[in-house]
Chain A
Amino acid sequence: MNWKTLSALLAFVTCFTGCSRSPASKPGAGARWVIGMSQCNLGEPWRVQMNADVAAAAARHPEIKVIYKDAQNDTLRQRAHIEEFVSAGVNLLIVSPKEAQPLTEPVAKAYRAGIPVIVLDRALVGEEYTTFIGADNRRIGRAAGEWIRKVTGGKGKLVELKGLMTSTPGQDRHSGFREAIQGSGLEVIFEADMKWLEPESRKEMESALARFPKIDVVYAHNDPGAHGAYLAAQASGRHQGTLFVGIDALPQEGQAYVRQGMLSATFLYPTGGAEAIDMALKILQGQPAPKKITLGSRLFTPENIEKGGEALQ
């Protein structure tokens, strides 16, 4: 390859990487504060939503400017991003970490250097950060179980389609759910690990349909899973009379499925993006901040979807 081809290729690649599409806040003509946002990956739609929520909230406050970095699910890269934010001297750091142990120390260093840190969604080890904002998957799982128990009168044949059971959300959504249905007449006749993926969920649901003549409830750990199960049942004409319950409730996914009559219910797994900006402003204005904020969830059903769902206790 000669030099001309090489430089053309380099220019091409630089162009592409230059056009990243992460939403950037328009800095107001007098942006007082710079916030660094370190996201562990933008592969999951839920995290894309988190960044979008942050951006939407920040857009309402021209005095802050947010800089986004995507670690592409690489712990070492996220660590490097945090260190870059520290040396750039941001006024506040928001981190949604990939893993607790490897990122605790870099975050602690930032904290000790006097930069307030808000940790989102996944907890770190220890206490060296300003505020942790996250939802409780166990509680959501429990809420789902309780809702199902209420609606079915505590009786029925149930299929559980699980997310990756090697991940904490999967384990929590499973254990919370099982706590809630304990002692009821709800019988788990079939369970499988669909790894959070819709095509996998559809395959498992087809197996369940082949094996069991009657399925009353399908509880999937996320909305794509519930959607896949619904389509499988629909193809066999067995979707009427079965409840389909999912979790996440992203507006264009879970909530849309509820609106379209596919899901009977979905539970919001809040991103915490808006709350992070609100808390950031409070901190930057010198107000005290609680160590831990547990976000609440909301229940969306066809009945309450137009009202924006209902908050859970």
Chain B
Amino acid sequence: MDVAGLVTPLVRMSGITKRFGRNVVLRGVSLDVYPGEVHILAGENGAGKSTLIKVLAGVYGDWEGAIEYFGHAARPRSPVEAMRLGVSVIYQELSLVPAMTVADNIFLGRARGRGGFVPQAEQRNETRELLQGIGLRIEPDTPVENLPIAAQQLVEIAKALSRDARVLVMDEPTSALTAPEVDTLFSLIGKLKREGRGIVYITHKMEEIGRIGDRVTVLRDGERVGSRPARELTDAELVRWMVGRDLGPGFSPAAGSRAESPSRAAAAGQERLRLQDFSVPSGPGSPRLAVEGVDLELRAGEVVGLAGLQGSGVSHLLLGLFGSYGANTGGSVYLNGRKTVIGSPQDAIRHGLALLTSDRKATGLVLCRPIQENAVLADLRRLAPGGWRAPARERAAVDALARALRLKAASLEMEAGELSGGNQQKVALAKWIQTGPRVFLLDEPTRGIDVGAKQEIYQLIHEWTAQGIAILMTSTELPELLALSDRIVVLHRGRVTAAFGRGQATAESVLAAAMGVES
């Protein structure tokens, strides 16, 4: 039902512009939410969706533009104020306290009672009513950490409802849910709609947009591309809205797009890696699979790009292949044609694999140790065969690496944490280059890096492939992935939805496959 113009919107955002320093993240974005509608907010990573909802939720105080909450202009200075105005956000990383009970979580910060004492019985009863209202059958005294993710999410929703939220914002709520749990969530959303609440729903998944969306607004590079009732917007148009852009002056992968270069076609050598029916659990000991039934081939000297949006499982694939989940992966892995079991990162390194992780600060570098130590960490077994180290040999190796990578640091004894993002990434790369890998897994190699450093990394990737190294990389920047990859494999919800050979991939087709559109 198109209600625009007949009813006052619950929330109207007009001309929202948000800057971080000199970086303009949102530019004149407008969004409104009507009672009883599910308004889908779509866009690629980095389009500005999270920033927009954070502005709505009062996380940021300094933005330009205007917001009307239920007809009154307001500028909440904190999430609490926004909640009082009737807007609640359910983030992907749920904001519940795991060790506390459901009742305590729901009443967190607003416990009734005098003098600090909490009336347990009263809270418990209210909680029970609330939970029944949304169809969740659990005891209010259950500690939240004992509940499955799906139930925890429903508790979050209950918490929002208990504060009388008229507008709920849900950020990718189904990324951790199974199909029946998604059904439960969607029927609850239907109920909330009938109660006249408004829902802003962020998702990548085409099937969901079609299923519950009333209107769709697409953001791209911080601007609003357009809004349309969901029924009227075709998949193809949606994808075009999300992707269609000039490549811009800042981007030029060295030597042009690989897939179009004729010399590349002849370069691919013998098979280095083959995955057959490969699966990876979503966590240690978890029965759920983050990656399922993946078949993949990788040859010497070629770059295969893994495309996938958040929750698609690409990082899990790389980690699982690298032995991070032990021998709990399913299916078969063939290295140089021979079936291999990789049970640990040590195994992987021994077999000539290297993994550049997606978060260099958290899992890539030891920030409190010097560059020198970080750079040799993965290769100590070869550099110090009997166990005793030869500092001179290590120094020489790192000196050479630093020069080759054009690492800018005052001294190699500087702590890794003191370097800039680009230089930190170079240290992480140096560490892996030192091991002399034959298969190099790159998880978001240019994340958080300035343009100049990105160019240097693109150049390095070319050099490595010329040396015969096989590269499997992921990137959420589609243009980058398209330009660097010889072939592209797309994952959606842990399964391969498309595989593109040389020169076959386009941004739209890749994004469509990543969103789960049946081709």
- Asked if chains A and B are in direct contact (CB within 8 A), the reply is no
**Footprint of A on B, CB under 8 Å?**
none
